[in-house]
Amino acid sequence: MSRSTYNLGQLGWHGFFEAHFGEYEKQGLVPARVAEEHRGRYLLYGDGFSCSGEVSGRFRHQSRSRGDFPAVGDWVAVEPRPESDLAIIHAVLGRRSSFSRKAVLSGGMPNSGGKADEQVLAANIDTVFLVTGLDDNYSLRRIERYVSITWDSGATPVIVLNKADVCEEVTARIDEVQAVAVGVPVHAVSAINGDGLEPLQAYLEPGRTVAFLGSSGVGKSTLINCLLGEERLATQSVREYDGKGRHTTTFRQLIPLPSGGIVIDTPGMREIQAWSDSEGLSRTFEDIEALAERCRFADCKHADEPGCAVREALEDGSLDEKRYRNYLQLLKENRHLELRKNEGERRRTEREWDKTVRNYFKSMKELRKKGLA
């Protein structure tokens, strides 16, 4: 195990995690936070140490889905092994928040069964910086999607419009974003010039964790370098012929800042499908759901029913058609995902019941051999 200068407070430890750790402390385990994950191996930061880690065999066997495994930002209960520089992870502590997306497995995980499963991108986040470029990357529809998923994560979204130096309509863009993300803070910055970054420091108080999410090429790594005060993360420019970014960050990583805050950098994701219920969707599209409540019929499909407030708003232009289509698309994805999750749970229950029945008959067979049944 290597020594580090971090203590638990600097890594974001507080009462919530301490309350979950009591039973593991009695077993002689210690807390650590996951800083990186590489094909089943983890970089862990603990109280004055850093080391590699891997989950125990028992943990792996008992995990029912990908979402059960440690993710960057998780707090875990580990058994240190100083002689091997490897800690064994026995448990993942309860998550205060988790930013997840849908991942379809094909049997690589235990008990996956090829069903839709949860991929936790980052855990125990206080704030999510949703970074969008004010260039060809700019998309209101993607911002709506990201905001909806972030609300469901349990974290607070903050929209960061980067590359203000190449945009001549910054104020208009801010107004557009505020109109589709009501109540969400919006900051226009230029990471390359260092302009407008000071307001972001308010979200990076000691012990608080901020995750950076956005497409490749929007400048997440450049922003983090500015906050670090050094060129630690590799950066690349976008491709000139299509305006798309190259993937400079290839894995998620947790980075403590000199100021005391903590950031989580993530690979660029042009699209992301939710792993959530409809709470975030309702919060992001409050205007549309408020219109639906004014329809004459409670089960209005907003097609050709009389007294449809949604259709009237579309016709008079007070509801943007593209925003409404995006809402319907996200609603469809949520409902489809819920069906997949329920089907996966049904299959898992059947497998567990079959196993219980097999074990029962096996036990009875053994007892009959011994003349006890």
Q: By C-alpha distance, which of 125, 99, 94 is closest to 31?
A: 94
What is the structure's pLDDT at 185?
Answer: 97
Determine the Cα–Cα distance for residues 187 and 174; give it in Å rounded to an integer: 8
- Residue 44: Cβ-neighbour burial (10 angstroms; 0-12, 13-18, 19+): buried
Three-class SS of 184-240: CCEEECECCCCECCHHHHHHCCCCCEEEEECCCCCCHHHHHHHHHCCCCCCCCCCCC
What is the structure's pLDDT at 343?
Answer: 63
- What digits encode the pLDDT tens for the residues 218-257? 989 899 998 888 766 655 554 443 444 444 545 789 999 9
What is the structure's pLDDT at 215?
Answer: 87
- What digits encode the pLDDT tens for the residues 125-154? 999 999 999 998 899 999 999 999 899 889
Q: Kindly state the tokens that stand for 72.
A: 């960057």
Sole residue written with tokens 């700019």 = 138
Q: Strand runs (DSSP E) across 65-166, as ranges?
A: 75-79, 86-92, 98-104, 116-123, 127-133, 156-162
> What domains does the chain contain, in order, with CATH numbers?
2-96 (2.40.50.140), 125-265 (3.40.50.300)
- Residue 224 C-beta-side C-alpha neighbours within 13 Å: 28
Determine the Cα–Cα distance for residues 360 and 245; give it in Å rounded to an integer: 57
What is the structure's pLDDT at 16?
Answer: 93
What is the structure's pLDDT at 277?
Answer: 56
Cβ–Cβ < 8 Å for 124, 73: yes
Determine the Cα–Cα distance for residues 270 and 248; give it in Å rounded to an integer: 14
Model pTM?
A: 0.78
What is the structure's pLDDT at 278?
Answer: 65
Cβ–Cβ < 8 Å for 45, 80: no
What is the structure's pLDDT at 322?
Answer: 92
Helix, strand, coil percentages in the chain from 3-state DSSP, rounded to 5: 35, 25, 40
Cβ–Cβ < 8 Å for 123, 73: yes
Q: Kindly state the tokens that stand for 357.
A: 């029945």
Q: What is the mean pLDDT of each run of 10 residues along the chain (373 residues)?
A: 86 93 93 93 94 94 87 95 86 91 51 60 94 93 92 93 95 96 96 93 94 89 86 55 47 88 78 61 90 90 88 92 89 76 64 67 70 64
- Residue 341: Cβ-neighbour burial (10 angstroms; 0-12, 13-18, 19+): middle
